[in-house]
Amino acid sequence: MTKKILVLPGDGIGVEIVAEAEKVLGALVNDFGLDAEIEHGLIGGAGYDAEGTPLPAKTLEQGRNADAILLGAVGGPKYDTLDRALRPEKGLLGIRAGLELFANLRPAILYPQLASASSLKPEIVAGLDIMIVRELTGGLYFGEPRGVETLPSGERRGYNSMVYTESEIERIGRVAFDIAMKRNKQVCSVEKANVLEVSGLWREVMLDVAKDYPEVELTHMYVDNAAMQLAKWPKQFDVIVTENMFGDILSDLASMLTGSIGMLPSASLDKHGKGMYEPIHGSAPDIAGLGLANPLATILSVSMMLRYSLERADLADVVEAAVGKVLDQGIRTADIWSEGMTRVGTAEMGDAVVAAMK
């Protein structure tokens, strides 16, 4: 059956990088037998500009009807002074919550060709392959109560809540253990159980889930230590499972181990495996429109989509091999460029990947 893919370019470099990923999708449809049709929608600042809201109702509806969603990035300085409810980020959080995309998979894989682009020593990052499983629809990002209030003294007080139910912890735990079963069978659950009650519950539930996966080794780590260990000896990790905001922070850190945040894709899945795929980087307003952005994270997001939502792992292999080939050829966007390599812009990188697929 023809799969429906919803494409949401969003803002800033989102527009440019998604265009390159669409070239790859186009080649997959035209030359590799992918049975899919593409539809476009508005989100973030683009949604606000056109419809007055970062998540137009039509976009959510399109998302419900799609088999998979490809998203660029949202946000930009132009929107920073808007009411919080109208900001682009709210559109992204809204579609994650609205479609119940609770499981965010963020692989941090080092391409051997980029070992020198990492800020860490090559021997520390060589062969790095970590999967961060970030809970995406709960925790500190969504917890109630939240707000800013004015105290009788006139002083203002701001607050957010890190909230998880047992079932929310259990379902993200199962995703992490299932993934670990297909990898090196190690799960590290990251929390702050020495301080936070919610983390104590998180640890208890993870221990329960682990009983169903006797082959998987479960360890626990406080988030501050996890940040340190990621920088010190990242290869000790296989699968990391963690709370929404902890995962936001640790995945940015992990991305840098691989040389550039411009390389890392992500998948956000619901309980049926339907997913939204996006690079983990933002809209990079400083380079938006200049044709400098690295489209590889978005192209690799297409590959995750093929694997997790479109049941075409064979084509995911084609895309990943093409990216590897382009890196072998020494083709680099500015973020991963080093002496002796061929520096290219966004569109040339996309074209190079399409050419390498053939």
Catalytically active residues are 141, 192, 224, 248, 252
Establish if 92 lies at the interface with ligand IPM (CB under 6 A): yes
Establish if 261 lies at the interface with ligand IPM (CB under 6 A): no
Establish if 206 lies at the interface with ligand IPM (CB under 6 A): no
Contacts of 314 (CB under 8 A, 6+ apart): none
Residue 33 has, within 13 A of its CA and on its CB side, a CA count of 6
Q: Contacts with Mg ion: how many residues (CB under 5 A)?
A: 1
Task: Please report the DSSP string for 90-153 in residue order.
Answer: HHHHHHHHHTT--EEEEEEE--GGGGGGSSS-HHHHTT-EEEEEEE-SSGGGT-SS-EEEE-TT
- In the window 224-253, what residues touch ligand IPM (CB under 6 A)? 248
Binding span for Mg ion by CB under 5 A among 90-98, 241-249, 265-273, 346-354: 241-249
Q: Which residues pair with 331 in a beta bridge?
A: 342
Question: Nearest distance from residue 94's CB to ligand IPM, in Å?
Answer: 11
- Yes or no: say if 309 and 273 are a contact pair by the CB < 8 Å rule: yes
Measured at CB, which residue is nearest to Mg ion?
248
- Yes or no: say if 291 and 346 are a contact pair by the CB < 8 Å rule: yes
Nearer to ligand IPM, 41 or 282 (CB): 282
Establish if 89 lies at the interface with ligand IPM (CB under 6 A): yes
What's the CA gap between 266 and 234, in Å, rounded? Answer: 19
- Yes or no: say if 135 and 63 are a contact pair by the CB < 8 Å rule: no
Tokens of 152: 């009788």
- Ramachandran angles phi, psi of 265, nearest 5°: -90, 175
Establish if 8 lies at the interface with ligand IPM (CB under 6 A): no
Measured at CB, which residue is nearest to ligand IPM?
89
Establish if 248 lies at the interface with Mg ion (CB under 5 A): yes
Residue 89 has, within 13 A of its CA and on its CB side, a CA count of 13
Tokens of 215: 């082959």
Binding span for Mg ion by CB under 5 A among 78-86, 92-100, 225-233, 243-251: 243-251
User: Mask: binding to ligand IPM, 45-84, rule CB under 6 A, as x and -?
Assistant: ------------------------------x---------
Nearer to Mg ion, 105 or 326 (CB): 105
Question: Nearest distance from residue 283's CB to ligand IPM, in Å?
Answer: 8
Question: Nearest distance from residue 331's CB to ligand IPM, in Å?
Answer: 27
Interacting residues with ligand IPM (CB under 6 A): 75, 89, 92, 248, 280, 282
Interacting residues with Mg ion (CB under 5 A): 248
